[in-house]
Structure 1
């Protein structure tokens, strides 16, 4: 395995390596944490771990948690986007905001982390195309249409079976994103919404952090039929690293703890409320991590299984990395931070995949979709 890991690190150094989804902006805003120099703490992504893992850039996500920020979705999103820009201003040699594939390639040449901005949850735009345009102007280059909550115009995979698809306004949102050159992300959407989006979008779409439903029946994972359809349209499926989206036994154990976990989270929230302060996400992830660590870890091979399945199913041109770092309680055994990313590449090399076949998965596939979407901007 060590020989494969050496090959993997060399491949990461040579290729563009990108992560499709990380929730790090919460740390910038809530904890006043810095991209470089500060202790990692409970985090998974930083300048130091990215460098160690050969990660050249990634989408840093502005996600307004729907309960904590009710009535303030757009404002919370603005603050999270501003947090990314502030880090780039403070540490220009270490992190830079990138809007195009050319800017991402230039950042790699300068050894600067390419921070792309994504918005997670269509509730962030508060049913306003004007706010959607504002976020695009501020640098956002994709939007995940829902989170675990549905919104007024798109159904979510959260909360059990959800038959709702796209409404008429939802189709307007897709058309506007296509016109802007902003990627549409179907992670978290309901099955009905998924098929509506594929029909409505005139350019490829992405699943920024969705794993394989055949291997783990979490409803936010994609079925093989969905993955094939998304690939046929030119899109990319990026594998999520959260243990509950990779292993059915782990997910069952996690769900069995939910009543106790929610009670512990309520205690934390009540304390911050009594202090008159918003709850920092780090306080909640600390509770989640404690409960996650009570469950036997998922073997690393299970994460590689999800990549391997997709590579065989849809081909190496339509697979990517979507860790969900800094937004998940726990990944698989041995995947602690971005520094561990070469282990995935090593595992795939060990299973017989060639280095040339993995270049797309590591980052080029995402750049290809960005290019197609941006080149199609302004068309009717």
Structure 2
């Protein structure tokens, strides 16, 4: 953002963290002047919480949310892709119908929340919209679909979600579905199913960005081969940082770069996820936080933070994260790296717990010798390039 208030806020943040050293204010100021996007924001699961407001500031000690409008401004996050996530269910007509109803409501919830806060944030459909809103001093709200399971076997529903403003979608989540094999699911299709290949064609026809995060290696390979336009991984980590099927290997990152795509670096699966029985129980409750009373929300937060003291979810920290970011840039190049930390979906590490830490990333990239222009490419330029590069049929 180029707004003076945001610049001053970022400068103040850097000054505090550096003990008031005037020279230490520059990286945060540079960060504040960039257009900064994140490609995977799971925050919509909080939008229907009783007694909770996206417009209010929240602290991690008392609330599990990692992103709100005040912290977007404090951390100079100008916007990103707010996710319509639907949990995987049975591959049956009833399963599809229930999932579609949920996805429609989640999409509408995002729209209502953005409209309620229209003085600060506005919807975007194109790269040009994002740049215009940034110049106007407004935060940017794209929409994406994580898991195309709610489409069932009716690909015409992609048009419906396109008309609702969705501009990015992935075929699959944590379990194999009717479209594709998941990185953490069974190898049923050896990549894309026949319907999944038609899904790719329809995504291309509409001009929606294909998101390969959560896809198996074979699915990724086929998405890359079949798509007429560059694809993205909205929230993925490197397999060389931690050997997990959810992560992307370096050779595939090179192939993605060769086809003008980009990998948005996440904070997840840089270690095994410590999903103990206690954590699994809390995660199950967290996914239902939208239906909890304020008292129940507070109790969940208390239990979660207590568990963090004895059983941290991830055995990695900010230093590990930046080592992976720098390696990804080395492999893929500055034109093919972006950021999608998986905020409010399991992301965040010690030292990068929420979006207020984002200026630290820019500071480290500057220290590593990357130019402001290259850093801004990674924060937003590459994502907007891929969005603008989608063909799609002519539309009025």
Q: TM-score, normalised by structure 1?
A: 0.87
Structure 1 Cα separation of the partners of residues 51 and 89 of structure 2: 22
Equivalent position of 2:5 in the other structure: none
Contact 2:180–2:189, Cα closer than 8 Å, also in 1:
no
Contact 1:5–1:343, Cα closer than 8 Å, also in 2:
no
Q: TM-score, normalised by structure 2?
A: 0.83
1:12 aligns with 2:25: no
Q: Where do 5+ consecutive residues of structure 1 fail to align?
A: none
1:237 aligns with 2:263: yes
Shift of the 217–291 alpha-carbon distance from structure 1 to 2, 3 Å rule, reads farther
**Deviation readout 1:119-162 (Å, 9 max, x if unpaired):** 00020212211211111110000002111011112110114767
Q: CA deviation at 1:19?
A: 0.3
Contact 1:95–1:113, Cα closer than 8 Å, also in 2:
yes
Structure 1 Cα separation of the partners of residues 317 and 348 of structure 2: 10
**Deviation readout 1:262-311 (Å, 9 max, x if unpaired):** 35667x59x99xx999xx99987876665444345633111111210111
Shift of the 216–236 alpha-carbon distance from structure 1 to 2, 3 Å rule, reads same
Shift of the 39–10 alpha-carbon distance from structure 1 to 2, 3 Å rule, reads closer
Contact 1:17–1:362, Cα closer than 8 Å, also in 2:
yes
Contact 2:49–2:292, Cα closer than 8 Å, also in 1:
no
Q: Where do 5+ consecutive residues of structure 2 fail to align?
A: 1-16
Shift of the 302–58 alpha-carbon distance from structure 1 to 2, 3 Å rule, reads same
Where in structure 2 are the equivalents of 1:113-262 lying within 5 Å? 113-159=139-185, 164-242=190-268, 245-246=269-270, 248=271, 251=272, 254-255=274-275, 257=276, 259-262=277-280
Contact 2:171–2:211, Cα closer than 8 Å, also in 1:
yes
**Deviation readout 1:196-222 (Å, 9 max, x if unpaired):** 111110100000000100111121110
Structure 1 Cα separation of the partners of residues 305 and 174 of structure 2: 19
Contact 2:171–2:179, Cα closer than 8 Å, also in 1:
no
Where in structure 2 are the equivalents of 1:1-380 lying within 5 Å? 2=18, 6-31=25-50, 33-37=52-56, 39=58, 41-67=63-89, 70-71=95-96, 72-159=98-185, 164-242=190-268, 245-246=269-270, 248=271, 251=272, 254-255=274-275, 257=276, 259-263=277-281, 268=285, 291-295=307-311, 298-328=316-346, 331-373=348-390, 376-378=391-393
Contact 2:173–2:182, Cα closer than 8 Å, also in 1:
yes
Shift of the 287–135 alpha-carbon distance from structure 1 to 2, 3 Å rule, reads farther
Q: CA deviation at 1:359?
A: 1.5
Shift of the 125–305 alpha-carbon distance from structure 1 to 2, 3 Å rule, reads same
Shift of the 215–310 alpha-carbon distance from structure 1 to 2, 3 Å rule, reads same
Q: CA deviation at 1:13?
A: 2.4
**Please, what is the CA RMSD of the aligned residues?**
2.9
SS at match of 1:114: strand
Shift of the 131–292 alpha-carbon distance from structure 1 to 2, 3 Å rule, reads farther
Structure 2 Cα separation of the partners of residues 93 and 284 of structure 1: 31
**Deviation readout 1:156-189 (Å, 9 max, x if unpaired):** 0114767631122111100101110100000000
